């Protein structure tokens, strides 16, 4: 049987290595806070109650069920949330459309808006460096 010594306590590890491990753990913790861990918290669903909705910082999915009313969801500037993903879902069976509207002169794959009009349809976007991208 081979004897494998246990590692030394963190306090006895070289300070440079200790600093590196701490830095990497902080990065990992920031990623969990930024992008979420779907096994530990619920998806935040935005509540749309009128024809115009401004996406909130906490929104991840905007589910719309306003029969007879077209809805415009206004996106924040991409610079505020680089890498942020959002989904828009139409829940009602009405003929009206729902759409994401890019901020100011920003675009979504070159267009000012992206719309859906079919029940249960979903559109997802992610913030790039200068515009939103449809997934």
The tokens 């949330």 sit on which residue? 81
More confident residue, 9 or 113: 113
Q: Residue 13 is encoded by which pair of tokens?
A: 């590890």
- 33 occurs within a structural domain: no
Q: Residue 105 is encoded by which pair of tokens?
A: 């002169």
Cβ neighbourhood burial of 124 (10 Å; 0-12, 13-18, 19+): middle
* Candidate from 1-5, 15-19, 36-40 with smallest mean pLDDT: 36-40
Per-residue confidence band for 128, with pLDDT thresholds at 50, 70 and 90: very high
What pLDDT digit, counting tens, does each position of 68-92 carry? Answer: 888 899 999 999 988 999 999 888 8
CA distance 76 to 53: 11
More confident residue, 4 or 109: 109
CA distance 126 to 135: 7
- 122 occurs within a structural domain: yes
What pLDDT digit, counting tens, does each position of 55-72 carry? Answer: 888 888 888 888 788 889
* Candidate from 21-25, 107-111, 117-121 with smallest mean pLDDT: 21-25
- 29 occurs within a structural domain: no
- 38 occurs within a structural domain: no
- 8 occurs within a structural domain: no
Report the CATH number that the domain containing residue 103 is assigned in CATH: 2.60.120
- 118 occurs within a structural domain: yes
For all residues of the chain together, what is the average pLDDT? 77
How many domains is the chain built from?
1
User: Which structural domain, as residue segments, surrounds residue 60?
Assistant: 45-134
Is-contact 114 100, C-beta < 8 A? yes
pTM of the model: 0.65
């Amino acid at each position: 049987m081979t004897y494998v010594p246990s590692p030394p306590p963190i306090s006895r590890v070289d300070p440079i290595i200790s600093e590196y491990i701490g830095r990497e753990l902080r990065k990992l913790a920031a990623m969990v806070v930024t992008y979420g861990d779907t096994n530990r918290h619920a998806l935040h669903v935005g509540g749309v109650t009128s024809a115009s909705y401004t996406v909130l910082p906490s929104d991840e999915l905007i589910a719309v069920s306003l029969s007879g009313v077209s809805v415009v969801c206004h996106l924040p500037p991409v610079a505020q949330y680089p890498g942020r993903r959002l989904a828009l879902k139409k829940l009602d069976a009405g003929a009206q459309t729902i759409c994401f509207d890019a901020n100011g002169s920003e675009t979504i794959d070159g267009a000012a808006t992206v719309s859906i009009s079919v029940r249960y349809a979903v559109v997802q976007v992610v913030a790039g460096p200068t515009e939103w991208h449809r997934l």
